[in-house]
Structure 1
């Protein structure tokens, strides 16, 4: 790991970290939902309900979550892969499944961009973008719902995971 940078824009926040691991190895960890709880910098992500690797745009994967300020405390998100460009980029929109099974997406996206800096070093940028969140959601959810250090924490957790594999 070398430099760590984070920026906050009007409707997105991002952090960047360089890891001493090839991009394909970093991508493989990000495409594995079972690693997401260990990567999470908030402690909200608990466990992958869907354990299959992320392999295509449109794929849905669910995560069990816990957040003390959430009305239910424990809840489940349903995420839809919207970016999948191995080993350069991966991203998903977060939402939930309604009682009728339909997916309701919240409008915010988690995206990782990987830039190889050589055969064994990768610059990883994590971006949380809420620019597509509708106004009615913004009335009861503050964006971002975490401090800017969350993304940097996540990248450091990711670096520890990929370095150990």
Structure 2
């Protein structure tokens, strides 16, 4: 694939603030994930600042853990993170791929959400390991956005009934 990123866009009938709140809660990430690889958050604190780390337990053929580092956070419009791993000595190593959600408010009750997976900064030595980018089919992003829409809609309904 010549491209270095893939993205999908969906309009959700929920305000941007509600969508952003779902995205910045690591406890929702397994339900949003379109691959089924994301399992449980290790770090459950809401994402509130650039540089914040949050770890997730994952599963793809075997269990593993990733560490994510927030690289952009502009409430309620943008959230994104680098994904990597924590080595045995505690050093963090990021592979050069990022996840990013861009939210465009469409009035008081709608949001256009674009999810982008970008692997343009993956170094050659990682590419030489035979890892395919993206490591999932493109419909993964569309599935994730539909899951996000369901969660954000349910979150809005729950907030309205309180």
| TM range, smaller chain | over 0.9
Q: TM-score, normalised by structure 2?
A: 0.93
* The one of 103, 106, 116 aligned to 1:117: 106
CA RMSD of aligned residues (A): 1.0
The reply to whether residue 18 of structure 1 matches residue 8 of structure 2 is: no
SS of 2:99's equivalent in the other structure is strand
Q: TM-score, normalised by structure 1?
A: 0.92
Structure number having the greater helix percentage: 2
SS of 2:21's equivalent in the other structure is helix
> What is the Cα deviation at residue 102 of structure 1?
1.0
Question: Unaligned stretches of 5+ in structure 1?
Answer: 1-7
> What is the Cα deviation at residue 9 of structure 1?
7.0
> What is the Cα deviation at residue 56 of structure 1?
0.4
Distance in 1 separating the partners of 2:13 and 2:142: 16
> What is the Cα deviation at residue 104 of structure 1?
0.3
Distance in 2 separating the partners of 1:26 and 1:9: 31
What is the count of residue pairs matched by the alignment?
154
For residues 4-153 of structure 1, what are the structure 2 equivalents within 5 Å? 10-68=3-61, 73-140=62-129, 141-153=131-143
Runs of 4+ in 1 over 3 A off after TM superposition: none
- Aligned residue in 1 for 2:144: 154
